[in-house]
Amino acid sequence: MALALVFPGQGSQAVGMGRDLAAAFPAAREVFEAVDETLKQHLTRLMFEGPAEELTLTSNAQPALMAVSLAVLRVLEGEGGFDVRGRVALVAGHSLGEYSALAAAGAFDVPQAARLLRLRGDAMQAAVPAGTGAMAALLGAEMEQARAICARAAIDPVTDETQVVEAANDNGGGQVVISGHKAAVERAVEIAKGEGIRRAMLLPVSAPFHSSLMEPAADAMAEALERDPPRAPAVPLVANVTAAKATDPETIRDLLVRQVTGTVRWRECVAAMVEMGCDTFVEVGSGKVLTGLMKRNAPDAKAMACGTPAEIEAVLRAL
């Protein structure tokens, strides 16, 4: 068995996440308390009780999802004697999940990851005025098809000006997310419907993540990571923007900056991990989004979600 740990991104948050972990395991409570103390906020109360609208805010969802992932990992380590360095071949995370993956591998500690993700969420939200940007999912589209749709949609037919609309996430299994100026994204949705795409729909997000419109947020993260840099991870990271292994701290810092405006190449990341010999994937944290994508991208691999006490017990038995 060659094991990879993968960590979810925004969209996997849900009111109640982590509550059962905190009730059952002191190690999980320690993680949540550390995050609350670092952010000077009762973030865990928001995670456990809601409201959902406040939890979904980018600046809250990003550190909250990391907190649940690291709480699960600490329980695996404390209750099951799980050793990341000795048992795990690779780590990867979807967008903000890269910070969780790096914290799991020792490149960040929990307070550091919480600080960086709060700043990242704030910077991404502030990068574009409200109502200016949008994102949409193209279901049944492959990457090249999505890029061609974006190229057509980028031209405003009234002014003939070029607007931003780009592929933000290549999730695999015919799922591509696009991002950019709201009008251009809306044009892309209409073009996609005429191209026979199974479904094209705007997403309920507050900013055009992973597009070139996020350049101000990338600049903010470059400064933050200069002040608060990663250490060398104990386990190699498969990075979103390259779909390749990274272990050098300066390289990882550059990749995290590039990731703010770059495409999340998740389909290629999974293919790379399989190519490097991984046949078992555990999604560590809230939800089962990556486990579902794994079944499409690596159908021969074993994929398990690990975010609740019952799932932790099942994973420890399986491993």
By annotation, the residues acting in catalysis are 95, 210
246 strand-pairing partners: 237
Q: Whole-angstrom Cα distance, residue 271 to residue 252?
A: 20
Compute the residue count for the chain. Answer: 319
CA 293, chain centre distance (Å): 13
Question: What string of DSSP letters covers the chain?
Answer: --EEEEE--TT---TTTTHHHHHH-HHHHHHHHHHHHHHTS-HHHHHHH--HHHHHSHHHHHHHHHHHHHHHHHHHHHHH---HHHHEEEEEESTTHHHHHHHHTTSS-HHHHHHHHHHHHHHHHHSS-TTTEEEEEEET--HHHHHHHHHHHTB-TTT--B--EEEEEE-SSSEEEEEEEHHHHHHHHHHHHHTT-SEEEE---SS-TTSGGGHHHHHHHHHHHHHSPPPPPSS-EE-TTTSSEE--HHHHHHHHHHHHHS-B-HHHHHHHHHHTT--EEEEESSSSHHHHHHHHH-TTSEEEEE-SHHHHHHHHHH-
Token code pair at residue 138: 């193209």
Show the tokens assigned to 203.
Answer: 């997403």
Task: Give residues with Cβ within 8 angstroms of 263, minimum separation 6.
Answer: 166, 167, 168, 169, 170, 210, 240, 241
